Amino acid sequence: MPEEFSEEGKRVIGSFFTNLDSNVFALRNLPEVVKGALFSRYSRSPKGLRRILLDEFINKPEMGFSDIVSFKEEDSQIVATQKAEKFYDRVLIGFGDDSVAELGGAHLAVEGISNIASKFFLEDARIGLSPLEKSTRYVLFNDKVDGKYRYYRDPTIMRSEFADLYVRTCDMLFDVYSELINPLKEHFRKKYPKSPDVTGRAYESTINAKACDTLRNLLPAATLTNVGLFGNGRAFEYLLMKMRTSQLTEIRHLAEKMQHELSKVIPSFVKRVYSKHGDEFVEFAKKTRRDLAEIPVRIEKTEENIPPVDIVYYDSDAVDKVVSFILYEYTGRPLREIMENVRHMPYLEKSDIISAYTRNRENRRHKPGRAFETVYYTFDILADFGAFRDLQRHRILTQARQMLTTDYGYAIPPEIEEAELADDFIVAMEKAKEAFNKIREKYPEEAQYVVPFGYRMRWHFTLNLREAFHLCELRSGRQGHPNYRRIAWQIYEKIKEVHPLLVKHMKFIDMKDYDLERLDAEKRIDRKLEKLKSGG
């Protein structure tokens, strides 16, 4: 539900948003640095974006907001937008090139949407959009609005014979989530007592994150979240047209709302979404889906014991390709000629070239050059939806998923077993499975909403070696969730098995296990806060 503001609050923040009464709104009249700061805070707060601006930016004099932003009348922004629309229309006619839409962009906040909407649609876009989502790792999800937990109530299900089952199941999952929070936190406090060198703030934040990490397995995919998006006009147009093709009511209605709000700030770039152009795209997607559904395909089971992280493809000539493309940048010869010479090059010489290209890396932000983008690996992954939510954010990938299901089972977090809370966890997960199986008989798409994060799903991605460096070194870091850290380790090990020479300098992989993953990060925050207080 949209947040309510006093008349004074509305007056103060009204000129910075396209509306104050909808869950979808765009930002305006704010410098880019303020928008970035707002979205950064957004992911770590239970508040809506408008409330954050009022409470934590405007109403805190120490933030210096009034020195950065001059308050403007709303009418001036509307006039400016209208003039800009006419200008862009002239530009589009003059150039006849859709790429002009990449020169204008918008910040859009989308609040109170399901994790189906956030993960499978808004954050699935790879080019031109940058998302930031409310974190399940740092924010508890047990609060209620008007006595109801925050989860999406799909209208198709709510009009069906499964409405009561759906509500009972989601309420039950949130009840168990809520009931286990304090016992689990107490278990962690006993197991990991606070040391004298750690502040109370850092310690409690770490304990809270550990509990959130563990209990998010119980949250259903219907759990409501907030997403901030920054992107260019072309990317928004394609996203909205893709959303129009969804079989889910939530996604189609969300596309309408997003287009309505974006029309207030970048109207020229999104006006084709509901035009003949957009209608043709929707019809194309429907026909493709229908044609594929009519093809009789039967997949016979041929493999046993397929690993959860399975490397199913890699370039057999990867070393020669990488060496050739390294040399291409430093010679004046044709690529074909270079590749022929590299084929006959001694192994040690190839090793020296790769080493010279990578050995000076001093941290994971020192990325290898683009020669590493010429070789590819495809992985088929079976892991919980929670891990997918984190790894899916890597955009330099080609990835596709199967539908959420309970068919692949779930794992009981070891922390739950240690705290002797497994019985409640298992009962909740099994009841969710029963509800899913009943609902999917009639509504397979909508049934996904009731699947908890802890159930495994299957997805694949293809990535180049340069992105593999980034993914494995980043996602294996200490503060990462244990589930996706293990996936990063396995990707590294699989590539190492087939191309040890190429990952020799992937040296910022953290293969250690940690008890309190967030503690070091929280201690760094304390040091920064102390430095700010001292004026350093």
In this prediction, residues 325-337 reach a mean pLDDT of 94
Q: Which long-range contacts (CB under 8 A, 24 or more apart) does 169-175 make?
A: 169/220, 169/431, 169/432, 169/435, 169/450, 170/220, 170/222, 170/450, 172/428, 172/431, 172/432, 173/218, 173/219, 173/220, 173/428, 173/432, 173/452, 174/141, 174/142, 174/149, 174/218, 174/219
Quick check: is 378 in a domain? yes
In the predicted model, what is the mean pLDDT of residues 381-401?
91
Same domain as 369, residue 384: yes
Q: How confident is the model at residue 288 (pLDDT cuts 50, 70, 90)?
A: very high
**Per-residue confidence (pLDDT) for residue 36, from 0 to 100:** 66
Q: What is the pLDDT of residue 73?
A: 47
Q: Is residue 462 part of a domain?
A: yes
Helix (H) or strand (E) holding 224: strand 224-232
Helix (H, G, I), strand (E, B) or coil at 206: helix
Number of domain units in the chain: 3
What pLDDT score was predicted for residue 93? 45
Asked whether residue 118 is assigned to any structural domain, the reply reads: yes
Give pLDDT, residue 59.
87
pLDDT at 96 > cutoff 60: no
Question: Looking at the structure, do residues 23 and 66 belong to the same domain, yes or no?
Answer: yes
Q: What is the pTM of this model?
A: 0.85
Q: Are 470 and 327 within one domain?
A: yes
Helix ranges restricted to H, 330-451: 335-343, 347-358, 385-391, 414-418, 422-440
157 and 53 co-located in one domain: no
**Tokens linked to 276:** 């003949």
Does 155 lie in the same domain as 197? yes
Using CA atoms, how far apart are residues 44 and 366, in angstroms rounded to an integer? 28
Give the integer Cα–Cα distance in Å for 468 and 473: 8
pLDDT in tens, 109-148: 999 999 999 999 999 888 889 999 988 878 889 999 999 9
182: tokens are: 């304090």
HEC-encoded secondary structure of 466-479: HHHHHHHHHHCCCC
Assess if residue 373 is contained within a domain.
yes
pLDDT for 171 beyond 70? yes
The whole-number pLDDT of residue 91 equals 45
Q: Same structural domain for residues 287 and 323? A: no
Position 59 in a domain: yes
Helix H, strand E, coil C: the string for 385-407 is: HHHHHHHCCCCCCEEEECCCCCC
At a CB cut-off of 8 Å and minimum separation 6, what does 311 contact? 377, 378, 379, 494, 495, 497, 498
| The dihedral sign for the CA sequence 7, 9, 14, 20 | negative
- Asked whether residue 533 is domain-assigned, the answer is no
Average pLDDT score over residue span 94-108? 67
Handedness of CA 392, 397, 403, 409 (dihedral sign): negative
The DSSP code sequence of 452-506 is: BTTBEEEEEEEEEHHHHHHHHHHHTSTTS-HHHHHHHHHHHHHHHHH-TTTTTT-
Residue 467's closest CA among 380, 401, 402, 398? 398
The whole-number pLDDT of residue 513 equals 85
Point out which residues pair with 111 in neighbouring strands: 226
Top-confidence residue, 299 or 263: 263
Whether residue 429 is found in the same domain as residue 495: no
> In the predicted model, is pLDDT for residue 497 greater than 80?
yes
Q: Could you give the dihedral angle defined by the CA atoms of residues 429, 222, 149 and 207, in that order, rounded to the nearest 10 degrees?
A: 70
**For residue 516, what are the domain limits?**
309-403+456-520
Please determine, for residue 92, whether its predicted confidence score (pLDDT) is greater than 60.
Answer: no
Q: What is the mean pLDDT of residues 445-467?
A: 97
Residue 296 placed within a domain: no
Q: At what angle do helices 233-244 and 249-262 cross, to 10 degrees?
A: 150
pLDDT score of 357 more than 90: yes
CATH number, domain of 484, equals 3.30.1360.170
- Tell me the C-alpha distance between 508 and 77, whole Å: 48
**Please, which pLDDT band fits residue 256 given cuts at 50, 70 and 90?**
very high
Token pair recorded at residue 160: 């069906």
pLDDT at residue 418, rounded to an integer: 95
Q: Are residues 499 and 376 part of one domain? A: yes
pLDDT of residue 510: 92
Read off the pLDDT of each residue in 208-228 and give the average, rounded to a whole number: 94
371 and 234 part of one domain: no
* Rounded mean pLDDT, 507-520: 84
Which comes out higher in pLDDT, residue 97 or 169? 169
pLDDT in tens, 407-443: 999 999 999 999 999 999 999 999 999 999 999 999 9
Q: Are residues 232 and 257 in the same domain?
A: yes
CATH number at residue 26: 3.30.1360
Closest CA to 461 of 316, 319, 309, 321: 309
Angstrom distance (rounded) from CA 397 to CA 416: 33
Which of these ranges, 17-21, 94-98, 387-391, 505-509, has the smallest mean pLDDT? 94-98
pLDDT band, residue 524 (cuts 50/70/90): confident
Output the average pLDDT for the chain: 89
Tokens found for residue 383: 């892991």
- What distance in Å separates the CA atoms of residue 67 and residue 88, rounded to the nearest whole number? 32
Residues 350 and 486 in one domain: yes
In 3-state terms the chain splits into helix, strand, coil percentages (rounded to 5) of: 55, 10, 35
Tell me how far CA of residue 19 lies from CA of 13, 164, 362, in angstroms: 10, 34, 47
Query: Are the C-beta atoms of 452 and 170 separated by less than 8 Å?
Result: no
Both ends of the chain: CA-CA distance in Å? 42
Three-state DSSP at 532 gives helix
| CB contact at 8 A, 50 and 39 | no
Question: What average pLDDT score do residues 386-403 get?
Answer: 90
Instruction: Tell me what the mean pLDDT of segment 283-292 comes to.
Output: 93
Assigned domain for 301 exists: no
In Å, the largest CA–CA distance within the chain is: 77
Q: CA-to-CA distance for 182 and 420, rounded, in angstroms? A: 13
What pLDDT score was predicted for residue 447?
98
Question: In the chain, what percentage of residues exceed pLDDT 70?
Answer: 91
Ranked by mean pLDDT, the top range of 363-367, 449-453, 527-531 is 449-453
384 shares its domain with 478: yes
- 150 or 81, higher pLDDT: 150
CA distance 22 to 264: 14
pLDDT tens for residues 187-204? Answer: 999 999 998 988 988 899
**Residue 72: band (very low, low, confident or very high) from pLDDT cuts 50, 70, 90:** very low
Q: How much is the pLDDT for 355?
A: 96
3-state SS assignment for residue 184? helix
Distances in whole angstroms, Cα of residue 110 to Cα of each of 42, 152, 247, 307: 11, 14, 20, 37
Torsions phi, psi of 526, nearest 5? -60, -45
